[in-house]
Amino acid sequence: MILFFYNLALLTALVVGAPWWLWRMATTQKYREGLMERLGRVRPGWVRPGRRGRFKGQSPGGAADDRPLIWVHAVSVGEVLAVSRLVKTLDAALPDFFIAISTTTRTGQELARERFGANRVFYCPLDLPWAVQGYLKALQPRLLVLAETEFWPNLLSGCFRRGIPVAVVNARISDRSWPRYRRLRWLWRPFLERLDRVLAQSETDAERLKAIGCRPERTSVAGNLKFDVRAAEETEAARVLKALAPDLRLIVAGSTLEGEEAALVEAWPRLLEADPQLVLVLAPRHPERFGGVAALLDKSGVAWVKRSDWRSQLAGSLKPLEPGEIVLLDTIGELASVYSLAAVAFVGGSVVPGGGHNPLEPAQFGVPIVMGPNYANFRAITDDLRSHNAVRIAPKEDLAGTLIEMLLDRSAAAAMGERAKQVFDQQAGATGRCVDALRELLSPETLRERPS
């Protein structure tokens, strides 16, 4: 009955919102890309399997493949980064399985194709009955793995009806989302109580998930996969930055939101006065804001360059960076590697009320970290770093002063960075725990004995 009213509300929303969506699709490329996949059209390369859980004939890239399939869903860039090591570990641990990855956003799709190969990445269908059933019928996954809290009623119900185990990895409920989930627990309970495994990031997350319907005996704490995220290799952006600024110090401001770039540009003269040998790297969180940040830099009068412009120039013809220049990192998937070059890292989405972003990306390199006070989306991680004096929290009005303090006291900054790296290393291991749990779900004995 809940599913019926959910689908009725979904259909009503689609009808009422159709003019707006049609307008957005007509004017914005990101709303058109992958549209047919989202509506349930499976790519021709995804040959319908001949028996449960196996490809028959070809994999998406066209190569012959008859392995059972595991479907991993990661919404956007953050989730793709979180499951990157998990997918690679599953590839090695389960060579008899084909791992397919879906995303929701365009940026997540681009990064997933880069990380895993386009032959096994697709857009997740919208949670419409016909779209979901089209994919489940074509893929017939042996296991569905959801990253964080991607609970979609039609997708879950379709898996339950087909006897497909569903696991959630890196599961969490943020402080911001918790009141809403708690109010709607009557809606979620019929779906969440049928999940086969829920692997939470922390004890708090596990308790919240159990409170809204996840069964205690199937819910456990595996840790945060993002503690296992490491930059796979040095990116082109990092190599070029090292070559163009060998004797300069970098402040890397990552995952910034609107208002944060302006605050940093405004503070830039003060920062240069404290340390004239600086270069600022700005990495906006959302690609659609690259143009707006470029306009801000043009208006500021500060010398700046776009990282994407380097791609069209020969390496030997690139002009070295000058002290005081700003680099706009307008590419996807290169921020983590660029953090490794930072004298100080500012993790964005935290000075403005954006919930914060992942401080582990710079922590893995022993880089001292500055954040604002709005970090609810990464509270457990940030509080752990704070408890070890491995991060500085500064409101907007103190941001420039805190960065200057870190730049001037190099020994204290280095010690803070080293403590951050120790926290990162101590918390690693979530990937292995998740892989063990997923392998158990795939064992013949578990599949035979699955409770309903």
**DSSP string of 104-152?**
SSHHHHHHHHHHH-GGGEEEPPPS-HHHHHHHHHHH--SEEEEESS---
**Residues 86 and 183 placed together within one structural domain of the fold:** yes
| Contacts for 229 with CB less than 8 Å, ≥ 6 apart | 81, 82, 84, 85, 336, 358, 360, 361, 364
Confidence band, pLDDT 50/70/90 cuts, at residue 12: confident
**Residues 392 and 437 placed together within one structural domain of the fold:** no
**Residues 142 and 284 placed together within one structural domain of the fold:** no
**Residues 148 and 248 placed together within one structural domain of the fold:** no
CB-based contact 432:408 (threshold 8 Å): no
Q: What is the mean pLDDT of residues 58-78?
A: 76
**Residues 205 and 351 placed together within one structural domain of the fold:** no
Higher pLDDT, 47 or 92: 92
CB-based contact 197:218 (threshold 8 Å): yes
Q: What is the mean pLDDT of residues 340-359?
A: 95
3-state secondary structure of 331: coil
Find how far residue 361's CA is from the centre of its chain: 12
361 carries an active-site annotation: no
Q: What is the mean pLDDT of residues 30-57?
A: 61
**Residues 42 and 80 placed together within one structural domain of the fold:** yes
Q: How far apart are CA 441 and CA 447, in angstroms?
A: 7
Q: What is the mean pLDDT of residues 2-29?
A: 66
Host domain of residue 138: 28-223+429-449
CATH code, domain with 317: 3.40.50.2000
Handedness of CA 156, 160, 162, 163 (dihedral sign): positive
Q: Which two tokens stand for residue 240?
A: 């070029």
Q: How far apart are CA 387 and CA 133, in angstroms?
A: 47
Asked, for residue 12, whether it belongs to a domain, the answer is no
Find how far residue 123's CA is from the centre of its chain: 15
**Residues 151 and 55 placed together within one structural domain of the fold:** yes
3-state secondary structure of 336: helix
**Residues 254 and 185 placed together within one structural domain of the fold:** no
**Residues 217 and 292 placed together within one structural domain of the fold:** no
Catalytic residue among 33, 37, 79, 266: 79
3-state secondary structure of 63: coil
Asked, for residue 229, whether it belongs to a domain, the answer is no
DSSP state of 322: P
With a cut of 50, say whether residue 57 has pLDDT above it: no
Q: Which residue(s) pair with 251 in the sheet?
A: 280, 344
Closest CA to 166 of 180, 139, 146: 146
3-state secondary structure of 338: helix
Asked, for residue 230, whether it belongs to a domain, the answer is no
Counted domains in the chain:
2
CATH code, domain with 159: 3.40.50.11720
**Residues 158 and 198 placed together within one structural domain of the fold:** yes
With a cut of 60, say whether residue 449 has pLDDT above it: no
Asked, for residue 18, whether it belongs to a domain, the answer is no
Per-residue pLDDT of 131-178, as tens digits, reads: 999 999 999 999 999 999 889 999 999 999 999 999 999 999 988 889
**Residues 216 and 277 placed together within one structural domain of the fold:** no
Helix (H) or strand (E) holding 30: helix 29-32
Per-residue pLDDT of 234-260, as tens digits, reads: 899 999 999 999 999 999 999 999 999
Confidence band, pLDDT 50/70/90 cuts, at residue 53: very low
Strand-strand pairing, 121-123 and 143-147: unpaired
Length of the chain: 452
Confidence band, pLDDT 50/70/90 cuts, at residue 54: very low
With a cut of 50, say whether residue 63 has pLDDT above it: no
Per-residue pLDDT of 208-243, as tens digits, reads: 999 999 999 999 999 999 888 776 678 999 999 999
Asked, for residue 218, whether it belongs to a domain, the answer is yes
Asked, for residue 402, whether it belongs to a domain, the answer is yes
Closest CA to 347 of 297, 281, 409: 281
Q: Which two tokens stand for residue 391?
A: 């991060």
Per-residue pLDDT of 401-448, as tens digits, reads: 999 999 999 999 999 999 999 999 888 889 999 999 999 999 765 555
CB-based contact 76:103 (threshold 8 Å): yes
With a cut of 60, say whether residue 90 has pLDDT above it: yes
With a cut of 60, say whether residue 337 has pLDDT above it: yes
Amino acid at 61: G
Confidence band, pLDDT 50/70/90 cuts, at residue 313: confident
Asked, for residue 336, whether it belongs to a domain, the answer is yes
**Residues 206 and 130 placed together within one structural domain of the fold:** yes
Q: How far apart are CA 106 and CA 123, in angstroms?
A: 9
Average pLDDT score, the chain: 88
With a cut of 80, say whether residue 7 has pLDDT above it: no
Asked, for residue 43, whether it belongs to a domain, the answer is yes
With a cut of 90, say whether residue 376 has pLDDT above it: no
| Contacts for 314 with CB less than 8 Å, ≥ 6 apart | none
Handedness of CA 34, 38, 43, 46 (dihedral sign): positive
Residue bearing tokens 């059209």: 41
